[in-house]
Amino acid sequence: MPKASANLENLYRIFTVPEGPDSTLRAIDQAIADDVAGFLQTHIVAIERNLEEIEADFSSCTIPEEPTYVSDYTEFVKENLVAQSVHTSAPGFIGHMTSALPYFMLPMARLMTALNQNVVKVETSKAFTPMERQVLAMLHNLVFRKQEDFYSSWIHNSQHALGAFCSGGTIANVTALWVARNRLFAPRGDFRGIAQEGLFSALRNRGAEGVAVLVSERGHYSFGKAADLLGLGRDNLVKVRTDSANRIDMQQLREEHRRLMERNILPLALVGIAGTTETGNIDPLDAMADFAAEIGCHFHVDAAWGGPTLFSSRHRHLLAGIQRADSVTIDAHKQLYVPMGAGMVIFKDPTAMSAIEHHAAYILRHGSKDLGSHTLEGSRPGMSMLVHAGFSIIGRKGYEILIDMGIDKAKSFAAMIDRHPDFELTSVPELNILTYRYCPQPVQQALAIASQGVRDAINTILDQVSQLLQKHQREAGKTFVSRTRLPIARYGQELTVLRVVLANPLTTGDILEAILAEQCEIVQDAEIRSLLQQIEEIMGKY
Amino acid sequence: MPKASANLENLYRIFTVPEGPDSTLRAIDQAIADDVAGFLQTHIVAIERNLEEIEADFSSCTIPEEPTYVSDYTEFVKENLVAQSVHTSAPGFIGHMTSALPYFMLPMARLMTALNQNVVKVETSKAFTPMERQVLAMLHNLVFRKQEDFYSSWIHNSQHALGAFCSGGTIANVTALWVARNRLFAPRGDFRGIAQEGLFSALRNRGAEGVAVLVSERGHYSFGKAADLLGLGRDNLVKVRTDSANRIDMQQLREEHRRLMERNILPLALVGIAGTTETGNIDPLDAMADFAAEIGCHFHVDAAWGGPTLFSSRHRHLLAGIQRADSVTIDAHKQLYVPMGAGMVIFKDPTAMSAIEHHAAYILRHGSKDLGSHTLEGSRPGMSMLVHAGFSIIGRKGYEILIDMGIDKAKSFAAMIDRHPDFELTSVPELNILTYRYCPQPVQQALAIASQGVRDAINTILDQVSQLLQKHQREAGKTFVSRTRLPIARYGQELTVLRVVLANPLTTGDILEAILAEQCEIVQDAEIRSLLQQIEEIMGKY
């Protein structure tokens, strides 16, 4: 790239925002906006170049010595980054939870960057602090539906916070379990609390052998990280078996709890899931709340995905019991349609977060309204603004339409798959997520009556088919589904399946039809054909 | 606000990005840009309204039922948010680490939002994955200066990561200590490692009574959170006393370590600071590296603030020894001038992060290049793009000028304070941070000869003066310094002092002169005058 020169004058210039209709900034903004618009029109998911080729453009490991002109760098970005990125908002990109954004998020996010507030403290965020508190209260209200006087006394309370804004669902889940852990081992008698004395001392003080979190085997992988990080150990993340609908099996839960008791391991938290990552199912939250009350342990609901279902009059009953949780995670960058980097955790008890409260001499002083005294993270951007914008511009009713539309679409896609002679539905959508695989009807019929050995042999090959199909489809760059491994009850076996997330309002029935048609074409590929041939041979033999 | 209607047509419209020169999006972008430009010109730090008044605009706790027009919401934002935010990029805002941004960060950040990549996995980030790996390698190179073949084998390695992008320095520090903890208690014999078995089992396995982190008393408050979160307990964050220059006292460090040994507590990590948050001092990193090697413990350097000093040929020697660290934290949203929300941690050993590696069935599969398998966070935005932009457009030489300029400015401001009859320098700037207080020369002279009792009495009143001075200055909204509490060697006492961070290249000597002049005016306020009167009375009596 042509080099600019490093001198004071140039530096002053780049630190002075050149606003105004004819400014360089406006020109660059426009060039990039046009380029992105072009990208969004011409590319569907990703361009053809493979990762290794792209890596060549990012292989120098030395920070450039000389400066580069902004215009030259913009060209580089257009060519090497925009064109080589993934069009996550494409209506045919239905494989992951990253969806389309409402357009107003762009100017709002740019404003957030321009103001560059730091919400860790009021001194660098002013109005962003009450706004974040308001958004947390609104979310609290959506979930826990307390009285108005509850909110008027807690919303802007300088001692407490109703929850925390986080960079994502992982930090939200970690925060929830951190609070639960510190409350379980609160100061008592001579014991000054786990925050002060640590986990070793806490367990010794209780005479316990360990402390565990119970969640279904469909639980998000962040709980494994949390168990590791918080010192519990992954062994103490008890993954409870699910029923055929991917919901926690209450009998198994009791059983696992009994086993913990026998081993003198304390239950730290019971985690219910409202929208499993892979299949979008919802645990029996009411029954779990009963059980958590019975064993006296923290009840956390991971509603990172499914939380916004509460906007829907038709579907909110699916989450019945969530209002009995002690803490709830909801990701704004999922079904609140906020850009990447916005998770939230809320606590029913407005004083719960004092278990992780902290202070410093230069900020977060006692009695200040600084949000940082109750967050895991320190300096943070004013992302709550984007949630506030979504709540205001889309409104509860707008979100309701989006939620209802996604669930309806999933149900109709499931019916489409069921009707199709070459596909097999592997999880029925409860919300807007489903899984399926390529498995022609004759194979399905053969599997239904085959011996376990034959069934295993066929399914092993079908796993390879699913894997290759997903890979080829991704590489073709027109549409995208993801894949995962799931135990499928009817086969008593874990299978590789295709996973679909239907949150983009622009995804139409026609697009879904086209995706199945494309997949039928992809399986004509020689490698996949030969795998399917192998299956036919096996079927022929028995 | 006037309400729009919630219907499908309107929803489709807001999810379709209306690009093009005459689009609504362009119009709103422009309205907001003009408004921000106006704000940046007319306001200096913050407008007059107090927090309680602002809270009234954010007091409803119900998510609006009906949608709002984007244009109406934009008006709301201009009036209630932009006008009520803190102008953190003002040249007179010298109290916190949030500084001016180079203007190109705005279009780049908007692009990041528009593409909405999720760098947890390649499938939703493509080119952003190699770019992030490149930025981490560049930073690794800046600190550890390995050979080129080291980088060519590790930069895009699918098994390992040279570091992690984080939402900020707190997560970076937590990640460093998490890795250190898991490496200290790695699998050994029957023990399957702390990640698996947890801290209780790990300590029992070693027959130890606890595990501790050693850091100076100037250490950032995130280490307290980390000690709590990781299960060590805040008691086991040993805060070692510092010398009069706010650097860790090596004698005290040895002493604290000896005490831990006596109590059978294992040292987990020794933390050196390159740029203390409150005073900008640098620990003797070489001596600390020696000691860490001697006791065989992880050496982490928190260079969140000071790391970019390595860009400066004149000043990088101050950080000598940092290349011997096992891990280093550097915040991009500080002296790399990236918008809020970008921290990084790098590890000398390219395999170190396998201690916290994790996988899931639907992403982060073994052998994938997904960045998420080695990060504490899950879904994350492509912030590395903004660091990449900074490295490219500003260049090493540009950053060098910025660093040198900040340090020079701090030294000249320190001289200005020293010369001024009414102020007392309370920490000499090593980098671009200093502290001082209002303390007229006669009072300084009296303090120098006063008995401990009189000195205490005067200093207690001066603390109130500092506090009020900082408060009034903030409320006046023209300029801003922060305040903290610091032990001041010459008085053998902890004092409230004013804190100044000089990272904004637009802050001139004239502005600094004006700030001192403004403070001399503020102390004419009745309440402060009466405090100063009390000091005169005390001085008169003795």
The torsion angles phi and psi of A326, rounded to 5 degrees, stand at -85, -30
CA angle B430–B436–B442, rounded 5-degree value = 130
- B25 contact residues in A (CB cutoff 8 A): 33, 103-104, 106-107
Between chains, do A378 and B168 touch, taking CB under 8 Å as contact? yes
What does the alpha-carbon distance between residue B299 and residue B183 come to, in Å, rounded to a whole number?
A: 12
Secondary structure element (H or E) that encloses residue A214, with its range: strand A210-216
Q: How many CA atoms lie within 13 A of A394 on its CB side?
A: 30
Question: Which residues are bridge partners to B297 per DSSP?
Answer: none
Q: Which of A6, A54, A111 sits opposite B36 (nearest CB)?
A: A111
What is the reported pLDDT for B335? 98
* Mean pLDDT rounded to a whole number for chain B: 94
- A210 Cβ under 8 Å from any chain B Cβ: yes
Q: What share of chain A is helix, strand, coil (3-state, %, to 5)?
A: 50, 15, 35
B228 interfaces chain A, CB cutoff of 8 Å: yes
Chain A contact present for B8, CB below 8 A: yes
> Rounded distance, CA B529 to CA A428, Å?
74
pLDDT bracket for residue A2 (50, 70, 90): low
> Are B124 and A148 inside 8 Å of each other by CB?
no
Instruction: State which residue of chain B sits closest to A55, comparing Cα positions.
Output: B130
Written as six digits, the tokens of B139 are 């930073």
Within the 158-177 window of chain B, which residues sit less than 8 Å (CB to CB) from chain A?
167-171, 174
Which of B54, B96, B361 is closest, CB to CB, to A485? B361
Q: What is the pLDDT of residues A130-154, one digit of tens each?
A: 999 999 999 999 999 999 999 999 9
CB-CB under 8 Å, A15 with B504: yes
What is the spatial distance between Cα A259 and Cα A236, in angstroms, rounded to a whole number? Answer: 12
Range with lowest mean pLDDT among A34-43, A235-244, A409-418, B5-14:
A34-43
Q: Which residue of B has its CA nearest to A370?
A: B51
Indicate yes or no: CB of B108 within 8 angstroms of CB of A233.
no
What is d(CA B195, CA B186) in angstroms, rounded to the nearest whole number? 8
Residue B46 near chain A (CB below 8 Å)? yes
Query: Is the pLDDT at A42 greater than 70, yes or no?
Result: no
Interface size A-B, in CB pairs within 8 Å, comes to: 597
Helix axes B384-419, A70-77, angle to 10 degrees: 150
Q: Name the pairing type of β-strands B423-427 and B433-438.
A: antiparallel
Chosen for mutation from B26, B73, B85 (greatest number of chain A CBs closer than 10 Å) is: B85
CA B330 vs CA B101, B163, B371: distances in Å: 17, 11, 18
User: Which residue from B88, B134, B393 is facing A58, i.e. has the nearest CB?
Assistant: B134
**How many angstroms away from the CA of B236 is the closest CA of chain A?**
7
CB contact under 8 A, A201 and B210: yes
Name the minimum distance, in Å, from the CA of A169 to any CA of chain B: 7
In this model, does residue A45 exceed pLDDT 60? no
pLDDT class of A33 with cuts at 50, 70, 90: confident
B123 and A235 within 8 Å at the Cβ level: the answer is no
Partners of A270 in the beta sheet? A214, A299
How much of chain A, in percent, has pLDDT values that exceed 90?
Answer: 87
Secondary structure (3-state) at A397: helix
Cα–Cα distance measured from residue A213 to residue B180, given in angstroms and rounded to the nearest whole number? 24
Tell me, what's the pLDDT at B38?
Answer: 78
Residue-wise pLDDT tens digits, B90-109: 999 999 999 899 999 999 99
Instruction: Provide φ and ψ at A484, rounded to 5°.
Output: -150, 180
Contacts of B55 in chain A (CB under 8 A): 130, 156
DSSP codes joined into one string, A54-105: HHHTT---S--SS-B-HHHHHHHHIIIIITTS--TT-TTB-SSS-----TTH
Q: Tell me which chain B residues have a C-beta less than 8 angstroms from the C-beta of A234.
A: 195-196
| Model confidence band, residue B327 (pLDDT cutoffs 50, 70, 90) | very high
**B10: chain A residues, CB-CB within 8 Å:** 398
Contact B40, B110 (CB under 8 A): no
Residue of A97, A113, A146 to mutate, testing the B interface (most B Cβ within 10 Å of its Cβ): A113
Contact status of A86 with chain B (Cβ, < 8 Å): yes
Residue among B104, B192, B382 minimizing CB distance to A14: B104
* ipTM of the prediction: 0.97
| Residues B336-378 pLDDT 10s | 999 999 999 999 999 999 999 999 988 888 889 999 999 999 9
Whether residue B293 has pLDDT greater than 80: yes
Question: Locate tokens 């409350």: which residue?
Answer: A183
The answer to whether A127 contacts B84, with C-beta atoms less than 8 Å apart, is yes
Tell whether the model's pLDDT for residue B542 goes beyond 80. no
DSSP state of A154: H
Q: Residue A331's beta-bridge partner residues?
A: A343
Q: How far is CA B456 from CA A33, B15, B450, B491, B538, in A?
A: 61, 64, 9, 9, 11
CB contact under 8 A, A379 and B156: no
* A397 in contact with chain B, both atoms CB, cutoff 8 A: yes
C-alpha span between A283 and B237 (Å, rounded): 40
Give the tens place of pLDDT for each residue, A324-380.
999 999 999 999 999 999 999 999 999 999 999 999 988 888 889 999 999 999 999
Question: A525 and A464 in contact (C-beta within 8 Å)?
Answer: no
Do residues A250 and A194 make contact, with C-beta atoms less than 8 angstroms apart?
no
Selected residues 105-134 of chain A with any CB under 8 Å from a CB in chain B: 105-111, 113-118, 121-131, 133-134
Look at the block and give the residue holding tokens 């060098």: B400
pLDDT tens digits along B419-447: 999 999 999 999 999 999 999 999 999 99
Q: Which of residues 481-540 of B touch A (CB under 8 A)?
A: 482-486, 499, 504-506
Which residue among A96, A233, A362 sits closest to B124, beta carbon to beta carbon? A96
**Closest Cβ–Cβ partner in A82, A96, A221 for B115:** A82
CB B107, CB A28: distance < 8 Å:
yes
A146 to chain B: closest CA residue: B61
pLDDT digits (tens, 9 = 90+) for B162-215: 999 999 999 999 999 999 999 999 999 999 999 999 999 999 999 999 999 999
For A504, the closest chain B residue by CA position comes to: B15
Is residue B178 less than 8 Å (CB to CB) from chain A? yes
Residue window 238-277, chain B: list those with CB within 8 Å of chain A. 277
Question: What pLDDT shows up at residue A201?
Answer: 98
Q: Which two tokens stand for residue A137?
A: 């209260």
Whether pLDDT at B3 is above 80:
no
Which of B:335-374 have CB within 8 Å of A? 339-341, 356, 358-364, 369
Partner-chain contact B62 A138, CB within 8 Å: yes
Considering only CB atoms, which chain B residues are within 8 Å of A356?
Answer: 225, 228
Q: Which of B66, B278, B392 sits opposite A68 (nearest CB)?
A: B392
According to the model, what pLDDT value does residue A335 have? 98
Q: Which segment of A72-81, A249-258, B516-525 scores lowest on mean pLDDT?
A: A72-81
B108 vs A77: CB contact, 8 Å cut-off? yes
Cross-chain residue pair A88–B398, CB shorter than 8 Å:
no
| Cross-chain Cβ contact B197/A235 below 8 Å | yes
Give residue B378's pLDDT: 97
**Which among A34, A116, A340 has CB closest to B88?**
A116
**What is the mean pLDDT of the segment spanning B236-256?**
97
Q: List CB contacts (< 8 A) between B402 and chain A.
A: 11
* d(CA B454, nearest CA chain A) in Å: 25
Q: Has residue B521 got a pLDDT over 80? A: yes
Band of the pLDDT at A47, cuts 50, 70, 90?
low
